């Protein structure tokens, strides 16, 4: 298939975002049945939570690959290319496979009312690719919430809950109890659950749901210290403990050498990713993520403050984000970014000034201008505020702006 057919197929898929987000599993199940997914012998690991989902998924994938399993990994959002969301043994799905898979799904759902959503189609495309690729272990990251997320129309061998905090309140509820109820919706009858340490309101909900499902439940709170973890920060050591405990609960056989190799080789872009000597790219987009980022910054850079290039989306808690980053900020540059959902830099500046009147801020027309400005100072540079923005920044830094496939979900 030609390069244009990949572009055309992706244009069709991205256009389905106009149908919005519809939480519910009826259409998902219909689509999965029509495609015959998931495959019969796949062992699925299902991951929900607010922060750390992608990092835990990346660790699970790296450890299982080190142990010789053929792994499949489904994550979101992507940073630069849509293809990042769907990987087998670390290989991104090809443009041809995306074009072919989406063309088949488009024909299949042409007359459906309601039509499937962007995320339902993407999940189905991933599972179809995994089945065809003969994956042994499939690692699924939920897109939004858990209970009504399309990844929840599967039966896993273990369910994982990363730290739960405030995010996506419009969809998941405005209290931690409500949000936790949505996340804990991935817990299923007799399937073991492994959870990170949680705030008490969240822990109560998780315990109740696990008891209702007669699912064994283990909370994991200690950082993993046995081997080094390639991702920076104490929170990543806690994520590693969660991944290791989940593999044990799932009965996946590993030896210490597999763990050591997997954790030493795990890569997960835009999570305290170093770019050269003095730049860090991190997709933190909510207060809890920003607190972990600030803590990791202090672990790595000590007392040195950052020149921060900051952009976030209009549905995020910008005041909470800025407050969490405050202790490490020297100055802020606020670029206009390529997202329809971007919070205008002028509003972000008002938020920063409200919290930290003394911090110098400058508004610039693009990431390129902000990057140039930031490099004129001696401080280390932090690029943060949104995974979408981190993707745009990475595309620019890699000289791949043409490859940046902007997507709202």
pLDDT in tens, 224-282: 999 999 999 999 999 999 999 999 999 998 999 999 999 999 999 999 999 999 999 99
CB atoms within 10 A of CB 188: 17
Helix or strand run (H / E) with residue 334: strand 329-335
Give the pairing of strands 71-74 and 86-88.
antiparallel
Is residue 49 over pLDDT 80?
A: yes
Query: What is each CA distance from 219 to 57, 110, 222, 240, 396, in whole angstroms?
Result: 18, 44, 10, 13, 40
Q: How far apart are CA 394 and CA 307, in angstroms?
A: 17
- Alpha carbons 135 and 131: distance in angstroms, whole number: 7
Do 143 and 53 touch, CB atoms closer than 8 A?
A: no
Residues 6+ away with beta carbon under 8 Å from 22: 114, 117
- At a CB cut-off of 8 Å and minimum separation 6, what does 50 contact? 162, 163, 164, 165, 166, 167, 179, 183, 286, 288
Residue 83 · residue 73 · CB < 8 Å: no
pTM: 0.95
1 pLDDT above the threshold of 60: no
pLDDT at 288 over 70: yes
pLDDT at 340: 85
Domains of the chain (ranges; CATH) run 3-265 (3.40.1190.10), 273-403 (3.90.190.20)
CA dihedral 83, 154, 221, 183 (to 10 degrees): 90
Instruction: Name 282's bridge partners.
Output: 384
The answer to whether the beta carbons of residues 38 and 46 sit under 8 Å apart is: no
159-179 per-position pLDDT tens digit: 999 999 887 566 676 799 999
Query: What value does the mean pLDDT take over residues 116-138?
Result: 97
Helix (H, G, I), strand (E, B) or coil at 361: strand
Q: Identify the pLDDT of residue 2.
A: 45
- Among 268, 13, 5, 1, residue whose Cα is nearest residue 124: 13
Average pLDDT score over residue span 319-335: 97
Please state, in angstroms and rounded to a whole number, the distance separating the CA atoms of residues 373 and 368.
Answer: 9
Mean pLDDT calculated for residue range 360-372: 98
Looking at residue 408, what is its pLDDT? 65
Tell me if 219 sits within 8 A of 197, measured CB to CB: yes
Two tokens at 20?
């919005």
What value does the mean pLDDT take over residues 77-105?
A: 97
Which of the 8 DSSP states describes residue 84? G
What is the SS3 assignment for 219? strand
Lowest mean pLDDT, pick from 15-24, 89-98, 165-174, 323-332: 165-174
Query: Per-residue pLDDT for 314 more than 60?
Result: yes
Question: Under 8 Å CB-to-CB from 408, ≥6 apart: which residues?
Answer: 17, 339, 340, 341
pLDDT for residue 101: 97
Q: What is the residue-averaged pLDDT of the chain?
A: 95
Identify the DSSP state of 342: B
Q: By the 8 A CB rule, do 370 and 335 touch? A: yes
């Amino acid at each position: 298939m030609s390069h244009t057919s990949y572009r055309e197929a992706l244009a069709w898929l991205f256009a389905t975002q106009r149908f919005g987000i519809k939480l519910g599993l009826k259409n998902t199940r219909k689509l999965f049945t029509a495609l015959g997914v998931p495959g019969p012998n796949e062992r699925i690991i299902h991951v929900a939570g607010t922060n750390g989902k992608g990092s835990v998924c990346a660790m699970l994938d790296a450890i299982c690959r080190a142990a010789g399993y053929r792994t499949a990994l489904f994550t979101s959002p992507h940073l630069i290319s849509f293809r990042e969301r769907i990987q087998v043994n670390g290989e991104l799905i090809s443009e041809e496979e995306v074009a072919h898979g989406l063309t088949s799904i488009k024909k299949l759902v042409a007359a459906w009312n309601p039509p499937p959503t962007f995320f339902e189609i993407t999940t189905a495309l991933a599972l179809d690719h995994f089945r065809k690729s003969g994956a042994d272990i499939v690692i699924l990251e939920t897109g939004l919430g858990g209970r009504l997320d399309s990844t929840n129309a599967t039966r896993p061998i273990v369910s994982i809950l990363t730290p739960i905090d405030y995010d996506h309140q419009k969809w998941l509820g405005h209290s931690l109890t409500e949000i936790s109820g949505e996340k804990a919706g991935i817990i299923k009858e007799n399937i073991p659950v492994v959870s990170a340490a949680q705030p008490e309101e969240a822990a109560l909900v998780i315990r109740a749901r696990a008891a209702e499902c007669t699912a064994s439940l283990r909370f994991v709170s200690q950082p993993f210290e046995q081997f080094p973890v390639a991702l920076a920060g104490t929170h990543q050591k806690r994520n590693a403990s969660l991944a290791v405990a989940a593999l044990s609960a799932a009965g996946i056989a590993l030896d210490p050498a597999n763990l050591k190799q997997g954790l030493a080789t795990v890569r997960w872009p835009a999570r305290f990713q170093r770019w050269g000597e003095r730049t860090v790219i991190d997709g933190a987009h909510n207060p809890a993520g920003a607190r972990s980022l600030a803590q990791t910054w202090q672990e790595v850079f000590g007392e040195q403050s950052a020149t921060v290039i900051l952009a976030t989306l209009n549905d995020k808690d910008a005041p909470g984000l800025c407050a969490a980053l405050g202790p490490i900020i020297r100055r802020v540059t606020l670029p206009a970014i390529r997202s329809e959902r971007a919070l205008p830099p002028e509003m972000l500046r008002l938020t920063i000034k409200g919290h930290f009147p003394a911090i110098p801020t400058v508004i610039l027309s693009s990431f390129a201008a902000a990057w140039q400005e930031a490099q004129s100072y001696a401080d280390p540079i932090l690029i943060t505020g949104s995974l979408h923005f981190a993707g745009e920044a990475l595309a620019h830094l890699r000289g791949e702006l043409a490859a940046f496939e902007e997507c709202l979900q």
